Structure 1
């Protein structure tokens, strides 16, 4: 087996989320979600996690710190990622992050509605959670189908 396959903690990405938010944003959001879920720091009814850009970059070493910064800022500007300074010392500028799960739920709901609208327009339907194209029935009169008798010796 290759040493490059699942011998370390994998980074996850949900393809549909990546299509909506962008690949970098989806990976960063998933990573933040992982740490938020494990966090014991609760403020205003939300779990928060604090890490510097450098600490995020150590977890996602295939990206530069500036790429991670851009992804975080993008998520903040779109409203999916909330940030604050919950540090005891105001000198400490390390950001605390949490996810706006309600906004994410709205994105999921909008996607479901759009999928149903697309199904109607494009003649698609959802079967077992998967979109499949509805193929039109083909009716042909036997007279229209060319027929060649390959056994005849003409």
Structure 2
């Protein structure tokens, strides 16, 4: 008699009563389902929709897919729920596809904000970022940890990203050719290059050694 009201392709939808009261049923259900999809122990058949960026898990869905996943809300209702959650800072949305023509949204939950607003904490609460190293503690490497991209590798990314990648590597920035941050830095290319070029003088580090973005770039660029 287990799950007698569900078909073989369905699963129950749940939402926190507290969140439903504060946010509305649609937003609360969306948030609960997103948490479920981001859960590390899920062996979900759509796991290809899950990605990791900057040590956080992100889930990709179109609004039409959200409608199918949630099963009881219109696309317009889901869009309003997403807008509300984003405005409150409870979710973050990024376009993480390496293919420039694919402008799809990836979603992550801001667990710290969830805790601040509603006192709700989970095991996935975002940890506090590690302190940025002081200049005297910045240690470079003689060889990059990220190997140089091959011609075949570079052919898979947009030309703007290739140019930025090559310039940053010239300044010994230890970064991979397919790092998602290249997409976000595209409109800030001059600033990123300037920071990479001036790092030896700003931090008094060896310009012939390799350093990671986390070591020499400002926090506002690392958060993009």
The TM-score by the shorter chain falls in which range? 0.5 to 0.7
CA-CA distance at 1:73 after TM superposition: 1.1
Describe how 1:2-151 pairs up with structure 2 within 5 A: 5-7=5-7, 8-37=10-39, 38=42, 41-109=51-119
* More strand by percentage: 1
Verify the 8 A CA contact 2:93 2:105 in the aligned structure 1: yes
**Structure 1 outlier segments of 4+, above 4 Å:** none
Q: Which runs of 5+ in 1 are unaligned?
A: 111-154
User: Can you list the C-alpha shifts for 1:38-64, whole angstroms capped at 9, x where unaligned?
Assistant: 465211121001110010001122211
The offset of 1:19, in angstroms, is: 1.4
* Distance change (3 Å), C-alpha of 1:68 and 1:4: farther
Matched position secondary structure for 2:99: coil
Q: SS of 2:119's equivalent? A: helix
Consecutive unaligned residues in structure 2, runs of 5 or more: 121-224
Q: Work out whether residues 92 and 110 of structure 2, in 8 Å CA contact, stay in contact via their aligned partners in 1.
A: yes
CA contact (8 A) 2:26 2:73 kept: no
Residues of 1 paired with 2:89 and 2:81: CA distance?
A: 12
Q: Which is greater in Rg?
A: 1
Cα RMSD between the aligned structures? Answer: 2.3
